[in-house]
Amino acid sequence: MRLDDADDVGCVHVRAWEAAYRGGLMPDTFLDALSVAERAAMWSRILRGELPPRTTRLVAESDDGSVVGFGVAGPAVTAAAPEASNVDAGELFAINVDPDDWGSMVGTDLLTAAVDALGRAGFTVAHLWVHPDNTRACSFYERRGWADDGIRREEDVLGVMVPAVRYSTTL
């Protein structure tokens, strides 16, 4: 992911959330208020910052070079579940694909690249957090060898409390 990807990543971020979290997973008022410009500005700030050690930021591009998905992975954040922390744990922080490209293997390719990067960074296990009612995402991860490991949390996502279940896989 490069700084000049920020606008496209912001657009994919909003489109993916609007499509994935409608129907009660997140409030419609929250989803309606998402701003591509604000997401792009957030990604621009992130991409201007120093890349933390053992972290990777990925984009998937279409044949014409436009961004159709992105992923971010790095050292697991243990504050949300310190009882389940593991010094050798990596985490998939984000994977979002433009809804027009769902089912096209973009998500699989991003997940594979993120897992490979975590393995190369020396992690032995990887975690990710997913809304327990996001059946599409849960099924996607399960088909690729990830499993619900029983850890739960509720997280403040931009002012909205969202339940999450942790999925894990061995690297």
> In Å, how far are 107, 131, 169 from 152, measured between CA atoms?
24, 10, 16
- What pLDDT is stored for residue 85 in this prediction? 52
Q: Side by side, which strands form the sheet with 89-97? A: 56-61, 67-75, 89-97, 125-130, 160-170, 147-157
Mean pLDDT of the chain: 93
154 - beta bridge partners?
Answer: 163
The 3-state DSSP class for residue 57 equals strand
The 3-state DSSP class for residue 93 equals strand
**If you count them, how many residues does the chain have?**
171
The 3-state DSSP class for residue 129 equals strand
Q: What is the pLDDT of residues 148-160, one digit of tens each?
A: 999 999 988 878 8
Q: CB burial class (10 A; 0-12, 13-18, 19+) of residue 49?
A: exposed
Of all residues in the chain, what percent are helix, strand and coil, respectively (each to 5)? 40, 30, 30
Residues 6+ apart with CB under 8 A from 139: none
Q: What is the pLDDT of residues 7-41, one digit of tens each?
A: 999 999 999 999 999 999 999 999 999 999 999 99
For residue 86, pLDDT over 60 is answered with no
Q: Give which of 53, 59, 51 is closest to 6, Cα–Cα.
A: 59
Using the 8-state DSSP alphabet, how is residue 63 labeled?
Answer: T
The 3-state DSSP class for residue 142 equals helix
